[in-house]
Amino acid sequence: MDSENNKIMLTGGGTVGHVMLNKMLIPELSNMGYQPHYIGSKNGIEKDIMEETQIPYHSISSGKLRRYISLENFKDIFKVVKGVLDAKKILKKEAPLLVFSKGGFVSVPVVLAAAARDVPVYIHESDLTPGLANRIASKFANKVFCTFEETTSSFTDAKVSYLGPVLRTDLLQGQTEEGFKLTLFSAKKQVLMIMGGSLGSKKINEFIWEHIDTLTEHYQVIHLTGKDNINKDISNPDYIQFDYVNEDLKHLLAISDIVISRSGSNAIFELLLVKKPMILIPLGLDQSRGDQIQNAEHFKKEGYAEVIKEEELDINTLRSQLSKIEDNYSDITYKMSQFKNAFEPKEFARKLIEEASK
Ligand SMILES: CC(=O)N[C@H]1[C@@H](OP(=O)(O)OP(=O)(O)OC[C@H]2O[C@@H](n3ccc(=O)[nH]c3=O)[C@H](O)[C@@H]2O)O[C@H](CO)[C@@H](O)[C@@H]1O
């Protein structure tokens, strides 16, 4: 390893789930004396998130990898090839010690370019079954770290290591006082949080809006709708919407009793960390490879969650799942308190550097 250079190239994008770990690593790597840089797409969510961190951001051309045959695939092949050339130039100029990829389409050209330039590549996979981007990237990786132990068997050509989730432990610092101030709610009724994944969920949003009067009979409801999805036509003192929350998430979680959520890996492990019983509504096979269905079933099996399939979502099913959770609340939170297998970003930053120094 070149001891003169202290740059670490991070990549990953498309949804927050493919960026959050990178964001958490930035202050830790900086504290350790390394210089994090980022390669992302020109307009993806990773660009907005990285703008807040003020680290150097390099954008490359990026295409989508589809699992179905489409004319767009042909156009995107050129974009991916252009992305590899863009990434090669950046890697040549910056000469980082290593590339760390959190997955998503934009990461593939970066990993291919790193392999061509002999830059060591490390990958993290958060879901039970790997995404297409990580499956391709893993073939060029020095190591793949996985959130779930079961995932290690999915990577046959790569060195794999079970790590557990890397979580932002600041979520444990939420204060109920702040949560009540932000929502104007009180301790008089239970609080239900609805979280549609980092981009929000149209289906879940519409369902909540349709049934908000019924839900607020028993609960005060915090609804994270996803960017630009606020419904201004609803006015109900026991209902509050936020399109996206950053630092305040911990305070809102502190006052929430039960969370209804999509089953993106980061979100569900964060809910486990803060011990919030959850009802998971995974993204269906019509819109994904089914990774959220597997994540949700895994959490159900562990006793942390109830699951409602998107096509079976109706108010009666939701009511019965809510009562099931309320009846077993202390058992569920006890089980959650036994979960110890999370990594702090600081520990993972150290592990990454250690790996690259071997
Ligand atoms: C549509 C899609 O492709 N979803 C994938 C994406 O989900 P998605 O991008 O939704 O990722 P996750 O659910 O894993 O994480 C969402 C993150 O956003 C944060 N958050 C969310 C709302 C908010 O207002 N504020 C906030 O900070 C959560 O705390 C969490 O850290 O990546 C996950 C991890 O690979 C996959 O399991 C999902 O299948």
pLDDT the model gives residue 68? 63
Q: Is 198 annotated as a binding residue?
A: yes
pLDDT the model gives residue 308? 98
Q: What is the pLDDT of residues 186-226, one digit of tens each?
A: 999 999 999 987 777 899 999 999 999 999 999 999 999 99
pLDDT-derived band at 69 (thresholds 50, 70, 90) equals low
- The torsion angle over the Cα atoms of residues 295, 298, 300 and 301, rounded to 10 degrees, is 180
Q: How far is CA 286 from CA 17, 130, 183, 291, 293, in A?
A: 20, 18, 35, 12, 12
pLDDT the model gives residue 358? 80
CA angle 264, 265, 267 (to 5 degrees): 70
* Residue spans in the chain of domains classed CATH 3.40.50.2000: 7-166+343-357, 170-337
Atom of ligand 1 nearest to the CA of 168: 31
| Average model confidence (pLDDT) across the chain | 93
Name, in order, each residue with C-beta under 8 angstroms of 177's C-beta and a sequence gap of 6 or more.
Answer: none
pLDDT-derived band at 65 (thresholds 50, 70, 90) equals low
Given a cut of 80, whether residue 70 has pLDDT beyond it is no
343: closest CA among 163, 170, 220, 223? 163
CATH superfamily of 7-166+343-357: Glycogen Phosphorylase B; (3.40.50.2000)
Q: Is 135 annotated as a binding residue?
A: no
CA of 147 to the centre of ligand 1 (A): 14
Ligand 1 neighbours (beta carbon < 6 A): 15-18, 20, 126-127, 195, 197-198, 224, 244-245, 249, 264-267, 270, 283, 288, 291-292, 295
Nearest alpha carbon, ligand 1 atom 2: 15
Q: How far apart are CA 299 and CA 292, in angstroms?
A: 11
Pick the CATH number of 170-337 from 3.40.50.1220, 3.40.50.300, 3.40.50.150, 3.40.50.2000: 3.40.50.2000
pLDDT the model gives residue 67? 60
* Mean pLDDT of the region 53-81: 81
* Mean pLDDT of the region 285-305: 93
Given a cut of 70, whether residue 4 has pLDDT beyond it is no
pLDDT the model gives residue 131? 87
Percent of the chain with pLDDT over 90: 83
Nearest alpha carbon, ligand 1 atom 36: 264
CA of 43 to the centre of ligand 1 (A): 18
Let me know if 56 is exposed, middle or buried by CB neighbors in 10 A (0-12, 13-18, 19+). middle
Q: Is the model more confident about 128 or about 75?
A: 128
